Amino acid sequence: MKNLKKLFIAALFVIGANVSGNAQKIAHINVYELLSAMPEMKTANDEVKKAKDKFEKDYQTMVTELQTKAQKYQTEAPTAGDAVNATREAELQQSQDRIMQFQQNAQNELAKKDETLKTPILEKAQKAIHKVARAKGYEYVLDSTVGSGVILADGPNLMDDVKKELAIK
């Protein structure tokens, strides 16, 4: 009976050693903070903002022209004939449709520009995270950005090492 007890304790010890020996190494990094620190991201954001500002300026010009035209037509409507008023109404509707189409196209173009500019930056950051994590022997890296689902991130933080890899101060 004593031998069986010793054998059981020894088996538990071996199993416990195997479990702890197979423990997975986990680290974390705040990806949002990393991307914000990358100079390429600032440049990309500036380019997207510049394009957005241009679209907004063009949009405002179109809206102002429409409003001016609408006021003119409204003022002249009592003296203009039904046929002229119907033509003007159709013209105003076409202008509104063009503005809506312009707005939709602008949003699509901005989204494409944003993706085109930022995808290589995201890939660069991801490669650096992978390289550092593998070099340090981590099997998993969690994104500790607020709202990413990580509730506690007290483990190793790869931020400094990844910034070094990317040559960011």
Amino acid at 167: A
Give residue 151's pLDDT.
Answer: 67
Domain ranges of the chain: 24-166
Give residue 134's pLDDT.
Answer: 93
> In whole angstroms, what separates CA 143 from the centre of its chain?
14
Residues of the chain falling short of pLDDT 50: 1-22
Tell me how crowded residue 133 is: count the other CB atoms within 10 A of its CB: 21
Look at the pTM and tell me if it is higher than 0.85: no
Q: pLDDT tens-digit profile of 52-70?
A: 999 999 999 999 999 999 9
- The answer to whether the CB of 133 falls within 8 A of the CB of 158 is yes
Q: In terms of Cα–Cα distance, which of 53, 59, 56 is closest to 98? A: 59
CATH of 24-166, one of 3.40.50, 3.30.910, 1.10.3470, 3.10.110: 3.30.910
